Amino acid sequence: MLFLVSCAMAPIEIELVASFTVYDLLTTVLFLLVLARGTVILPSPGILASALVFLLFALLSTLRALQPGESLTQILQYVFIFCVQLPVIFAFARSRFMLQAGLFAFFAGSLVAIVDAYLSPQQLWADRVSTFFSESPNRLGYPVAYLSPFLACFVLQALRRRRWRLSSLVAASAVAYLMVWALAASGSRGAAVSTFVSMTVFLGFRRGAARPLAVLARTSVAVLILGLCGSLLYRSDQFPPTLRERIHRTLAAERTLVHDRTLLAIGGLRAFEESPIVGLGLDNFRFVADRYVPTVTQQNPHNLWIQLLAQTGIFGTLGFLGIVACSFGIVLAAQRQKPSAAHRELLWALIAAMCATMVIFLFIPILIQRHYWWLFGMAMSAARGSGSGGRAALAQSIETEDVDS
């Protein structure tokens, strides 16, 4: 139950001290329980080796940091993610029941923020609605990108069952409306693009990738349907016009929306060219941004990879890329092991959510928020139960491990 409560709190960043949140506190308690039982499961050797390279060069880059405390704070957060958060997820989400219950709790926690913003739209920031725990309106739109595949998975499963089919579809329609509203009200272009990508990946690959022609056909149909829905939404007056206006201004290359981010990207690349091996230290580019582009604001580059190149150097960035690549490789390998149709569909929903995360971080700085790594951890945990032995364990674990958990 404590694990499920932590899943619900993962997408809600309620800070206790500095960057330490309520979710971090619950996860720490769970880790101590897991440690006491001696059942700590670490990430794969590939992920650990890549994380070691990344953290090593992040630490070396701290020697050049103007504010070394900021860099060390983020390093400690990454250590917490790899050594505490992921082992807790691996320890508890070991059965189909706990995977589904955890995803439901995570979805419910994300929906709380959307419902609150819907009922209290006075929380505005430049005509964009924000959440109660973050001033950034993007945090209202981003959950739509990685939750949409799970909603689609639920709808498809409901259509296969006669019992509760109608009530399930009605509930799913209400949730879909709230999610589309959140996307429109947030005005987040990154959330719109990543939602399109995640839904295309899920609808195109949900039955597996064994037959390329069938995948191509499903993907083409998905792109066509999503494009049509996006066009209708763009022209509709049923939702807040904020996203439509920002997209229109972006296509018109309006200076206020694209110029500053372009300058930040140029500054980040210049910092990397100046020192390609050792960077400026995590979260430190913003303190010296005007050194590389005099007119730029004090922010980090709004792109994960440019920021990592500037702040950890080429080897630190490659280490981080190795973490991401190994995570995707584990889950993609699991769906090729011929799991049940329902479990394969769940794996592809998780892969689609991971893809959404990667697209999101082409528009914002650093992948350190715990709810994104929660998705990666749940995906890898689901992959552990995809083999022949894993499927047998899934069938028996509700009566054994989960009751004890």
144-162 pLDDT per residue, tens = 999 999 999 998 888 887 7
For position 339, what pLDDT does the model report? 77
Q: What is the pLDDT of residues 282-309, one digit of tens each?
A: 999 999 988 998 888 888 888 999 999 9
Q: Per residue in 71-93, pLDDT tens? A: 999 999 999 999 999 999 999 99
Q: Are residues 268 and 285 in contact, defined by beta-carbon separation less than 8 angstroms?
A: yes
Three-state secondary-structure class, residue 128: strand
Query: What's the whole-number mean pLDDT along residues 5-32?
Result: 93
Confidence of residue 63 (pLDDT cuts 50, 70, 90): very high
Q: What local confidence, expressed as pLDDT, does residue 256 receive?
A: 65
Q: In the structure encoding, which two tokens stand for residue 133, read together?
A: 């725990």
Calculate Rg over the CA atoms of the chain: 21
CA distance 69 to 284: 10
Average pLDDT value for the chain: 88
Taking CA atoms, 49 is separated from 54, 55, 311, 327, in Å, by 9, 10, 20, 13
Phi, psi of 124 (to 5 degrees): -115, 150
C-alpha of 236 from chain center: 28
Question: What percentage of the chain has pLDDT greater than the value 90?
Answer: 61
Higher pLDDT, 226 or 122: 226
pLDDT at site 363:
84
Three-state SS at 15: strand
In 3D space, the residue among 375, 371, 378, 317 whose CA is nearest the CA of residue 50 turns out to be 317
Per-residue confidence (pLDDT) for residue 123, from 0 to 100: 65
**Which has more pLDDT, 339 or 130?**
130
Residue 1 token pair: 């139950």
Enter the pTM of the model: 0.90
How far apart are the two ends of the chain, measured CA to CA in Å?
8
Q: Which residue has the higher pLDDT, 226 or 135?
A: 226
Q: How confident is the model at residue 365 (pLDDT cuts 50, 70, 90)?
A: confident
Q: pLDDT value at position 395?
A: 38
